A and B are shown apart, each in its own frame.
Chain A
Amino acid sequence: MLLHVVNRSPANSRVYEQALSAMGPDDVLLLIEDGVQGALPQLVRYYAKIEGRLFALREDLEARGLLGRCAESVQVVDVDGFVTLTEEAERTVSWY
């Protein structure tokens, strides 16, 4: 299992497509920084293909006033959870 990290919003950037095309069936994806916008109900459809394997970073949601506005399918983790994901994944690949 690999962890993919995306820091761009799908509203503004097609980097999410690169990440998705590189994901294997067990890989998971974490949204950080501006990427957390992808957790909003209107934008999460871009990640429909990986439903259940999508995470968003709590601190970055909170800083942007977006915590509590996430789609239910998105798992919110704090920075400790981010570290845990990197422990569990064999490798981390960043898309920016």
Chain B
Amino acid sequence: MRYAILLMGAPYSHQASHSALRFARALVARGHRLEAVFFYHDGVHNAARLAAPPQDEPHLVDAWADLSREHEVALQVCIAAALRRGLLDEREAARHGKDGISVAEPFELTGLGQLIDLGTRCDRLVTFGP
């Protein structure tokens, strides 16, 4: 089946990110296709390029990036929710005159329309809230 995940919890504040990642790994292990993880509300902080957790804790940003590379999972971040919270990619940083990039690769800033599209295209959409 084709799945999408909607994640709305901030990493290290709530278990939502860990739950979503564990669920994502389990579903690809069972042979399902995970099309994308969509990050909305405080979930956008999962894309924080500058996150620096202690070494004995899971690095959630890197874990999403690894999942994306290994299983071709798109990491789509709601642009409106991200900009408000200080998460900018190169293009948005330039557009807003900011001198840093705060969104990690391969996360991509995108519109809410992508979430609606995922809901239409995928067989299942599972939400993880804070």
Contact = CB atoms under 8 A, between A and B. Distances in A.
The answer to whether any beta carbons of A and B sit under 8 Å apart in the complex is yes
Interface of A: 5, 7, 32-34, 59-60, 79-80, 82-83, 86-87, 91-96
B51 interface: no
Interface stretch (B19-27, B71-79, B108-116): B19-27
Given A7-B15, A32-B19, A80 B30 contact: yes
A82 B124 contact: no
Interface residues of B, number: 21
Contacts of A60: 15, 19
Contacts of B129: 7, 94-96
A59 B129 CA distance: 18
Contact of B26 (A7, A79, A91): A79
A79 B22 contact: yes
Nearest to B27: A83
A34 B14 CA distance: 10
A80 B15 contact: no
A5 to B, nearest CB: 8
Contacts of A86: 3, 27, 124, 126
B23 A83 contact: yes
B127 A80 contact: no
